[in-house]
Structure 1
């Protein structure tokens, strides 16, 4: 527990251990702070002074107070100044295994401040994130300023996990969908339909657009339960990995499924010639448009087969493109694909006071991302 948070928690008289507001203090966020934090989020990230999206408050409560690991000392923090809460860090507790021992990490989702008082509070909140104070905290969408603060506080920036790969199956359609964030009309049927016909002609001329079929492998639809059973043993080769207890995994799948803006949540299992699982992937999909891969895992040594089969099956399902967070153990196999690009997605920062965790991260002996990151959150795509 952070040293400066300890007094607030010990003197809490509120139900459930929630700390009372105290002017000029850093303290755990309580449910009563949600309306203020929702306004602060909207003003900071959506340029809205007073308007708050209708279901933002309910979403904040679900995500930041609903985890089975939630405790005030493991969750979000706010700074309460003379004008109330003017700065906050939103965080979700996630359990990791570090060289066999359990570690309760914090996923940092948003760092917000408003005005002069908010800036002073933000500085105090940032000091809480220094390596000497933290079991482990991480963020996969940090700005350059936040990355600099992470490094100054003794943390690490993970360069590979800071990248996103993207593989085009229908290049013209995929390009239009990408540009539609700035020009929504490009996503209309009137635009995408003729581009689809042009893509068919382009694929006939450029055979490399179509992912190669992987001999002796096939992909089958599956349930989250099947993914859990298949993927869990595949995590064991990583000294630092999410624990994914059944309760936490089910909760994460539930909150991820709320992000309808990215499409439906799907599970696929990759089988070898003998019908044995050698890989699994979990992704959001908008049919005919994008597939956003959250988690991709495989048996050690089967990376090329699983990556190739994933792309082949997503292409066969009709997606225009697929994208996901880069992972060191998959880079060789991913990079062999044609019609592939990488882009910086935001700095992936990790802070810990434990030398063995930091060493594992710097050696890439780590599995983190997807459900074990913020990739599923509506705060990145909605509100």
Structure 2
């Protein structure tokens, strides 16, 4: 009797437990999945505020009937040229023993791309996933894939990076701090920040509600932008509240003389660690002031460095502030709509951070 063939099908609630176990083996330490992780998967891929039965996540089921692959799908509503469109973000793609199932990843991506969405996007593709996308004819988008890093304390930055690979490296933190002190005493300006002119708007720490108001006011400046309202953006911000890998969340907004928000940014950080930017938006004339506040606030808080995903509108300012650029995660997009394609290729699309998929607690939470 012939064995049943492997298949790709939509995710259902009974798949959450095996997907959680696969997540632990793929992205974490392989320990048994916690109930918190399973709950996060349900929230992200089933209870999403824009959940759409036509845009499900998918699992790969092998010949033995076991779930051994997964691609998460986050539906999104966006607007371009006055019309609302459907977007879908590919998230948390994983395949168990990919060498034994070399076509599983490609089949999952094809299932994702075959949906009715107007544009398909992956905001956090790693090198393996990017290779699968390229085989299907879709390459990375350079402007959005230029991840950046601004170092303040090189010794502590090096130890923090090493600690992510070898946890025992945390024992070396005092040596990183000592190296930073020596560098500071030497008068080196390679990692120092220029003093802001003081002519920019004043930033203030805010709560989720004020941040949401600012982001909703600033997003429409982009030709391709998310359709946010208080309920949906509030849900995304609540999901993004805790990311234990990255530290405490910081929300900052600046207002103009008329009381309207002119810039906003949100990042995670802890003293001695590398801060991570979730979202940053500003009016064109306030971009540099926002970058200055973001860098200085993180440095003053004791962070070793700060990093973020590629945001084309920030690149010129970050270059002038001595940021380094590297390929760490990649943005890929597929669409047949010429207007959408032009907005993305020209770097005029708000498709990352809270507008994408990195609000998810699956990115940055440990679930222990």
Whether TM exceeds 0.5 here: the answer is yes
* Deviates most, 132-141 or 259-268: 132-141
Which residue of structure 2 lines up, in the alignment, with residue 37 of structure 1? 19
Quick one: distance in 2 between partners of 1:77 and 1:31? 12
Q: Say if 2:223 and 2:348, in contact at 8 Å, map to a contact too.
A: yes
1:14 corresponds to: none
Q: CA deviation at 1:52?
A: 3.1
Q: Deviations over 1:155-210 (max 9, x none)?
A: 452112112111122222222222222333443454454345335424x4428613
Against the structure 1 CA distance between its residues 348 and 145, is the aligned structure 2 distance closer, same or farther, given a 3 Å change threshold?
A: same
Structure 1 residue aligned with 2:40: 59
2:248 maps to 264
CA separation in 2, counterparts of 1:173 and 1:355?
46
SS of 2:324's equivalent in the other structure is strand
**Which is further off, 78-87 or 91-100?**
78-87
Q: Which runs of 5+ in 2 are unaligned?
A: none
* Residue among 140, 144, 153 paired with 1:157: 140
Match of 1:125, SS state, is helix
Residue 352 to residue 272, structure 1, CA distance change in 2 (3 Å):
same
Indicate yes or no: 2:55 matched with 1:74.
yes
Distance 1:201 1:139, change over 3 A: same
> Which of these residues, 92, 98, 103, is aligned with residue 74 of structure 2?
92
Bigger CA drift: 368-377 or 342-351?
A: 368-377
1:244 aligns with 2:228: yes
> 1:282-325: per-residue Cα shift (whole Å, max 9, x none)?
11121343321111111123222222232223223332211111
Q: How many angstroms apart in 2 are the aligned matches of 1:285 and 1:103? A: 34
Q: 1:106 and 2:88 equivalent?
A: yes
Q: Secondary structure at the match of 2:353?
A: coil
Going from structure 1 to structure 2, the CA distance change for 1:374 and 1:201 (only over 3 Å counts) comes to farther
Aligned-residue RMSD, C-alpha:
2.9
Matched residue SS, 1:304: helix
User: Is the CA contact 1:90–1:111 (under 8 Å) kept in the aligned structure 2?
Assistant: yes
Looking at structure 1, the residues matched to 227 and 82 of structure 2 have their Cα atoms a distance apart, in angstroms, of: 10
**1:141-180 → structure 2 map (5 Å cutoff):** 141-153=124-136, 155=138, 157-180=140-163
How far residue 104 of structure 1 moved from its aligned partner, in angstroms, is 2.6
Report the Cα distance in structure 2 between the residues aligned to 1:368 and 1:158, rounded to whole angstroms.
12
- 1:325-364 equivalences under 5 Å are 325-338=309-322, 340-364=323-347
- Specify whether residues 222 and 154 from structure 1 end up closer, same or farther in structure 2 by C-alpha distance, changes over 3 A only: same
Shift of 1:41: 2.6
Q: Which residue of 2 aligns with 1:279?
A: 263
Tell me which moved more, 222-231 or 71-80: 71-80
- Tell me by how many angstroms 1:254 deviates: 1.3
What are the residue-to-residue correspondences of 1:117-136 with 2, within 5 Å?
119=102, 121-130=104-113, 134-136=117-119
Q: Helix, strand or coil: the match of 2:51?
A: coil
TM-score by length of 2: 0.86
Residue-pair matches, total: 359
Residue 134 of structure 1 deviates from its aligned partner by 3.8
From the superposition, tell whether residues 26 and 176 of structure 1 become closer, same or farther in structure 2 (CA, over 3 Å): closer
The 1-side partners of 2:61 and 2:167 are apart by 40
- List runs of 5+ in structure 1 lacking aligned partners: 1-21
User: The residue matched to 1:187 in structure 2 has which SS?
Assistant: helix
2:276 equivalent in structure 1: 292
